[in-house]
Amino acid sequence: METGWWSQGDDTVREIIITEENSKPERASEAKEEEGHPHQYQSILRESDSPPIHDHIPLERLYDQLCAGVFLKNRTMKYSVEKKSKKNCFMIYARGLSITWAENNSYWNWVTQKDAPSDVALVEMAELLNVCWLEAHGRFDVSKLSPGTTYEVVFVILLGSSGHGWEVPVNFRATFPGGTKQEHKENLREKPRGNWIEIKAGELSTSEYKEGEMEVSMFEYGGHWKRGLVLKGVLIRPKN
């Protein structure tokens, strides 16, 4: 696989401005979501990699950074808000997924890259070296998604020009709370090489699924040895 894809940079985590207002105790009335504000943004930001963020920071002081994206859970996830709609979006990076054999450097290699030019910190992505058993799963709490919205769930991958072994289609699946599944096969051999592409696993409406956990999966167990794929992660965004 070409080596020029992976940029390097310092490891500084994005800073979010904190004021003395943060030290005030939470009041019950503040737990109520304010109309026009992103859904559950206060509780989501408590998982931010930046210093603790509480409910008293005025949204207008954070809004630009919310639109740019805030890293969560040790940079295994990014939370962002669509500027126009104020709807929540999430990226679960490869390090936040469960990938079979990911810690065996004969099969996978962990690489670092900025997800966006505006990012300061790097995130880890998984480069497939050689496997016959391809399997990656992720879980997500749908209650963090904006109400009354149809979301699409996509895997973000890159196929290298030297990749091979993709003769057998790969399965992409989304399993929603209650067990409903959407699943289909994709022939990766026919996909563009050298650029990030998106493969849809499924879509859900938060009018139907208000709470619970969904699981997203990418897998192929046919015994064909495969190489030349980079997995950035799973993107969950409002469907346009």
Question: Per-residue pLDDT tens for 14-40?
Answer: 333 333 333 333 333 334 456 668 999
**pTM, rounded to two decimals:** 0.83
Residue 131 pLDDT grade (very low, low, confident, very high; cuts 50, 70, 90):
very high
Task: Judge contact between 155 and 234, C-beta under 8 A.
Answer: yes
Q: Quick one: pLDDT at residue 214?
A: 98
The Cα angle at residue 208 between residues 176 and 156, in degrees rounded to 5: 45
Q: Quick one: pLDDT at residue 55?
A: 54
Shortest CA distance to 52 belongs to which of 93, 15, 77, 88? 15
Q: What is the β-pairing status of strands 181-186 and 170-175?
A: antiparallel
Greater pLDDT, 161 or 220: 220
Q: Quick one: pLDDT at residue 63?
A: 83
- Dihedral in degrees, nearest 10, Cα atoms 216, 222, 224, 227: 0
Q: Quick one: pLDDT at residue 186?
A: 97
Run of H or E including 140: strand 134-141
Give first-to-last CA distance, the chain, whole Å: 34
